[in-house]
Amino acid sequence: MPKTFRQNMGWVGALLDEYQKAIEEYQAVLRSLSPQQFTAIADPVTQDKGCVSVQSVTNHILLSGYGYLYMIAKQFGDLPYERKKQVDVSGIETACAELDALLQHSDERLTPKVNITDEEIVNNIIKSPWGQTFDIDQLLEHAVMHIIRHRRQIEIFKTRLQ
């Protein structure tokens, strides 16, 4: 099947295309797991409760994705905006459906930003809850890499759980 790209969306389209690719690759890894591997404790020594199992990492990815959208909405005055704080990762297919919903919601929230100028990008600095600062472009690049880094983590978990 030929690859399709979001058209006439500039930087927003590019980042959404890469976000979609990262999500699809993550979903492919999820679907390669058994239900037991999805829920099993893969890292019993980590201090990060969001990274003990594939299930908990997936929950973390989803809530982070909604968090990034909330930070953007807050910065650009797109309020009121209700941040999603709970997702269904009870199984692999429900988690994949939640990832699809995150991508759809991201598309809906970010498409109106296609005409933001470079000046608006660099003059709107977003301070994250963990203390790092981003412009919207950097934050969305971080969102893409966040999924990619955790996909790699899940691939490592898979080898541990076999």
Torsion angle defined by CA atoms of residues 90, 36, 162 and 45, in that order, rounded to the nearest 10 degrees:
70
Summarize pLDDT for 110-138 with one digit per residue, the tens. Answer: 999 999 999 999 999 999 999 999 999 99
Among candidate residues 151, 10, 26, 153, the one with its CA nearest the CA of residue 100: 26
Read off the pLDDT band of 6 (50, 70, 90).
confident
**CATH number for the domain formed by residue range(s) 10-161:** 1.20.120.450
Kindly report, residue by residue over 29-71, the tens digit of the pLDDT.
999 999 999 999 999 999 998 899 999 999 999 999 999 999 9
49 within 8 A of 88, measured Cβ to Cβ: no
Phi/psi of residue 41, each to 5°? -70, 115
Domain residue extents for the chain: 10-161
As separate numbers, helices (DSSP H) first and strands (DSSP E) second, the chain gives 6, 2
Average pLDDT value for the chain: 94
